[in-house]
Chains A and B, each alone.
Chain A
Amino acid sequence: MPEGVSELSREIYGMHMIMFWICLVIAFFTFGAMIYAMVRFRKSKGAVADQTLLHNARLEAAWTVIPVLILIAMAIPSVDKLIKIEDTSGSGLTVKVTGHQWYWQYEYLDTGVSFYSRLARTSDLARRKGSGIDPATVENYLLEVDKPMVIPTGVKVRLLLTSNDVIHAWWVPDFGMKRDAIPGFINEMWISVDADKPGTYRGVCAELCGADHGFMPIVVEAKPRAEFDTWLTQQGAAAAVARTE
């Protein structure tokens, strides 16, 4: 799992690693006991079954209560993270994301900027059956679009997710989150890229949405605020020109 480029994604990564290590420790003891029993108590080594070892209330109570405590300890840290994830207040920018079969649409609310984002032509040609193009020769195969989404770094960006047809899910692993885009409903989530980590981040649609589910990638360019503002103004001007024509 990528550690990601936001506070949220790093916290989620941290939880993932803690869970992983806890599971590994439990596995060490459980599998250790199983393997020990399988080696030590073999009939071929002359082991005789101890028919008195049939139940032991204290032992069984112990391995009921101890896991409960471990589990509670595992669940507690997720509470404050969840609260943070669900808190979309104080965002500096709102983008409406609409899933279509099979491309994404990004609308920068109150700016008139709106565009579609589809699988890049290079990937689209290569992915056809019998295209004869080796995917390894295509740069960012299946993870490139014709027009990426652009967001400012260091700003809490609120996404409003919906869909025009079937359920899609918007997911960029580096941002730590995914959420479904459901037709007729609006879901919220927020992302935030560290101010010092501008760059291009890639993701995919993560809910089966038909034949080309695997071919509607997400590309997000995170730019410093000033660069982003310039970009947005240009886009807004272009959109205004398009409207008057």
Chain B
Amino acid sequence: MTEATIAVGHVSHDHGPPKGIVRWLTTTNHKDIGTMYLVFSLAMFLLGGAFALVIRSELFQPGLQLVDPAFFNQMTTMHALVMVFGAVMPATVGLANWMIPLQIGAADMALPRMNLFSFWLLAFAFLLLLSTFFVPGGAPASGWTLYPPLVLQTGQAFPMAIFAIHLMGASSIMGAINVIVTIVNMRAPGMTLLRMPLFSWSWLITAYLLIAVMPVFAGAVTMLLTDYFFDTSFFNAAGGGDPVLYQHIFWFFGHPEVYIMILPAFGIVSEVIQTFARKAIFGYETMVYAIASIAFLSFIVWAHHMFTVGMPLAGQLFFTLATMLIAVPTGLKIFNWTTTLWRGSLSFEPPMLFSLAFLFLFTIGGFSGLMLAIVPADFQYHDTYFVVAHFHYVLVPGSIFAIMSAVYYWLPKWTGHMYDMRLATWHFWLSAVFVNVLFFPQHFLGLAGMQRRVPDYATQFADWNMVSSIGGFGFGLSQLLFVWVIVQCVRGGARATAIVWEAPTGLEWTVPSPAPYHTFVKPPEVR
């Protein structure tokens, strides 16, 4: 890839990037930074996946075989933190870096140096977070939600984890500012907001969510920090505080956070479905408004994560209704995607396969979400494997399938090569089958009474846990195929044309493949 981009750089009469490692350390190019984010995210995806396999190995059969309960809790905590902040979010940021300037006809991101800074902040944040495995007391083990008072029992990892979260937050906020400034100021002439591709739209809204909630999270963990070191008692009843206060603040961040992970996925799926249905998205404007209303509603549903803390009746009813309302714009999106398929001309390349699987499996996650919103039933579901199944359905075949769809969709544009479609199709079918073997039985486990975050379980849960673990290993190993397809594609392969697919729409397909180091130095005219 390096050679290819430099060669094209020469054609366009500029000096191109420096060679070797210096290029990656000093680059302010949106494409290079996008690539770094994506590679980082892939590495974290594999690492977080390895943690998940430790979890699934221990749960393969009842009894403790491999790890101690304390280490098991470190695994569940770090799996979640790595997947949320290291894999899914950076992947969408990487896609944003690569694609937003190309989609709106801008030469680069608006704030390139800040862009680089936010990447390296993230990298150092993870260095800090992962190094907690080697300090006395081990990594944080209180769940990624970091509820006090339990989190205050963390050993020396505690301040390190908090500072890592601060750094990640700063990095995300800078990334978000960059997206907003770029989209607001750098659209090509004629690229009005309501002509903008849906991926860029979804990111614009995501960026506002990030700016709104990351500081809230930073505030919450800072209060934990002062509780730990300076006895401030924000969350300690003995000092006049309240542990539940933390949960309210956390989920005020946490709920928008889950939409931060899914909204870019909505954007991706919209792009991919139009291309492979050979038909423009049905109800473009309603799709935009639907994303915006989901974003708004995400701020007023947080307490549905904590119905069991004992809330006033009116509060429970409010959060039930607000949560159910989210199903309306989400359902609208599902129906509009289905209508986009309707009377289209469908073909089933790997990106389309992943997006179609998203459509089905995300919807399953939506149904279980609807069930969880009903408070009386939630009193049974809460903190069981039913919840684990629910959020993995919306995150794995939801966000992550959409990200894979995006990678298969734009990879030829990035590398200039076509990838091995046959292998990628294999990757899809293996992932799609195993992800269900992995997560579907977890619904049954939860309903049968198995609670979350336990290293061991009563013997009646043995069968479905074994099935789920087999699915876990199958899914995990299938991802090696993903890595292989990407590596192969970066190294070589059939030349990709500028449009790559049959008739994709969007400015990114007007530049050659691979996209030259500098694109749209002169803004294109959009009509």
Q: Which residues does A use to contact B, with CB under 8 Å?
A: 1-2, 11-12, 15-16, 19-20, 23, 26-27, 30-31, 33-34, 37-38, 41-44, 47-51, 53-56, 59-60, 63-64, 67-68, 71, 74-75, 78-79, 81-83, 85-86, 126-129, 131, 133-136, 138, 140-143, 165-167, 169, 171, 173, 176-180, 182-185, 187-188, 203-215
Contact = CB atoms under 8 A, between A and B. Distances in A.
25 contacts: A19-B370, A34-B360, A37-B338, A37-B344, A41-B345, A48-B345, A53-B339, A60-B335, A63-B335, A71-B324, A74-B370, A82-B316, A133-B63, A166-B150, A167-B149, A177-B379, A178-B380, A178-B382, A183-B243, A184-B238, A184-B243, A205-B451, A206-B451, A208-B452, A211-B141
A2 B449 contact: yes
Contacts, number: 268
Interface string B353-376: 000100110011001001100111
Interface in B10-29: none
Contacts of B65: 129
Interface in B125-160: 141-143, 147, 149-150, 153
Interface residues on B, range: 35 or more
Contact of A78 (B150, B310, B336, B376): B376
> Majority SS of interface residues in chain A?
mixed
B69 A214 contact: yes
A212 B459 contact: no
B328 A211 contact: no
Nearest to B342: A37
B39 to A, nearest CB: 33
A105 to B, nearest CB: 18
A178 B279 contact: no
B346 interface: yes
Interface in B274-321: 277-280, 282-286, 308-310, 313, 316-317, 320-321
Contacts of A51: 279-280
Given A47-B346, A184-B243, A23 B278 contact: no
A135 B453 contact: no
A213 B453 contact: yes
Contacts of A2: 449
Closest 5 pairs between A and B when the two form their complex, measured CB to CB? A184-B237, A214-B454, A50-B343, A37-B341, A23-B367
Contacts of A142: 62, 456-458
A34 B359 contact: yes
Given A43-B345, A71-B325, A82-B317, A33 B338 contact: yes
Contacts of B448: 1
A219 B232 CA distance: 38
Contacts of B186: none
B285 A15 contact: no
B256 interface: no
B320 A60 contact: no
Contacts of B455: 214
B118 to A, nearest CB: 32
Nearest to A144: B458
A49 B344 contact: yes
A179 B380 contact: no
A82 B384 CA distance: 20
Nearest to B64: A129
B191 interface: no
A1 to B, nearest CB: 4
B212 interface: no
A182 B282 contact: no
B356 A75 contact: no
Contact of A12 (B63, B338, B376): B376
Contact of B237 (A30, A81, A183, A207): A183
B523 interface: no
A140 B62 CA distance: 12
Contacts of A143: 458
A67 to B, nearest CB: 5
Given A59-B339, A207-B383, A178 B308 contact: yes
A185 B379 contact: no
Contact of B374 (A78, A131, A171, A185): A78
Contact of B380 (A16, A53, A214): A16
A182 B243 contact: yes
B343 A43 contact: no
Contacts of A188: 310
Contacts of B244: 182, 185
B279 A50 contact: yes
Nearest to B285: A55
A175 B73 CA distance: 28
A141 B459 CA distance: 7
B310 A180 contact: yes
